[in-house]
Amino acid sequence: MKTIALSLQKGGVGKTSLAVSIAAELASLTGSVLLIDADPQASATSWIGTHTITVELADVLTGTTPVKQAIMQTGITGLDLLPSAGLGGELKAFGEGPGKDDPFCFRRLLKEVAARGYQYTVIDLSPGWGALERAAALGADEIITPVLGDSFAIDGLQIFNENLVTLRHRFETEKPRHTRIIVNAVDGRIKQHAETLDAIRAAAAGITIYSVPVDPAFRLAQRKHCFVQEIATVKPETRLVLHTIAEDLHTRGK
Mean pLDDT by 10 residues, the chain (254 residues): 95 95 97 96 94 92 95 95 89 94 96 97 96 97 94 90 96 95 92 90 90 97 96 97 97 67
Predicted confidence at residue 88, as pLDDT, reads 78
Confidence (pLDDT) at 101:
94
- Distance between CA atoms of 109 and 101, rounded to whole angstroms? 16
pLDDT given at position 79: 98
pLDDT of residue 103: 97
pLDDT reported for residue 151: 81
For 174-207, letters b (16+ CB in 10 Å) and e give: ebbebebbbbbbbeeeeeebeebbeebeeebeee
CA 2 to CA 121: how far, in whole Å?
6
**Torsion sign over Cα 119, 124, 129, 133:** negative
Contact 20, 47 (CB under 8 A): yes
Q: Which CATH superfamily is domain 2-248 in?
A: P-loop containing nucleotide triphosphate hydrolases (3.40.50.300)
Domain extent listing, the chain:
2-248
pTM of the model: 0.96
